[in-house]
Amino acid sequence: MLRGYEVWGSDVVTDYPASNYCLIDSVNSDFTELFRHQQFDLCINCSGAASVPESLLNPFRDYTLNTLNVFKLLDALRRFNPQCKFLNLSSAAVYGSPDVQPVREEAPLRPISPYGYHKKAAEELASEFARVYNLRACSLRIFSAYGPGLRKQLFWDLYMKSVRSKEVSLHGTGDESRDYIFIGDLVRLMEIVATNAAFAGEAINAANGEEHSLRDVVSLFYDCLGWNGMFAFSGQTRKGDPKNWRADIGKVREMGYQPHTSMQEGLRSYIQWVENTPSPEVGL
Predicted local confidence at residue 160, as pLDDT? 95
Q: Answer whether 23's CB lies under 8 Å from 14's CB.
A: yes
Question: Which residues, including other chains, have CB under 8 Å from residue 184's CB and lie 6 or more apart?
Answer: 147, 260, 261
Distance from CA of residue 195 to its chain's centroid?
20
Q: Answer whether 234's CB lies under 8 Å from 171's CB.
A: yes
Q: Is the pLDDT of residue 5 over 70?
A: yes
Q: Per-residue b/e over 167-176, b at no fewer than 16 CB within 10 Å?
A: ebebbbebeb
Question: Which residues, including other chains, have CB under 8 Å from residue 283's CB and lie 6 or more apart?
Answer: none
pLDDT tens figures, 88-147: 999 999 999 999 999 999 999 999 999 999 999 999 999 999 999 999 999 999 999 999
* CA–CA gap between residue 31 and residue 10 (Å, rounded): 9
pLDDT tens figures, 62-94: 999 999 999 999 999 999 999 999 999 999 999
Q: What residue ranges in the chain does DSSP mark as E strands?
A: 9-11, 21-23, 42-45, 85-91, 137-142, 144-146, 167-170, 177-178, 180-182, 200-206, 212-213, 230-233
pLDDT tens figures, 248-271: 999 999 999 999 999 999 999 999
Q: Is pLDDT larger for residue 1 or for residue 32?
A: 32
226 closest CA partner among 185, 178, 267, 277: 267
DSSP category for residue 103 = B
Residue 64 burial by Cβ neighbours in a 10 Å radius (0-12, 13-18, 19+): middle
Full set of structural domains in the chain with CATH? 9-275 (3.40.50.720)
Q: Is pLDDT larger for residue 196 or for residue 23?
A: 196
Predicted local confidence at residue 281, as pLDDT? 54
Cβ atoms within 10 A of the Cβ of 26, count?
Answer: 11
Q: Per-residue b/e over 88-111, b at no fewer than 16 CB within 10 Å?
A: bbbbbbbbbebeeebbebebebeb
Pairing relationship of beta strands 137-142 and 21-23 according to DSSP bridges? unpaired
Kindly state the percentage of the chain with pLDDT values over 70: 96
**pTM (two decimals):** 0.92
Predicted local confidence at residue 119, as pLDDT? 98
Distance from CA of residue 64 to its chain's centroid?
17
**Does the N-terminal peptide bond of residue 102 adopt cis geometry, omega within 30 degrees of 0?**
yes
96 closest CA partner among 82, 109, 81: 109
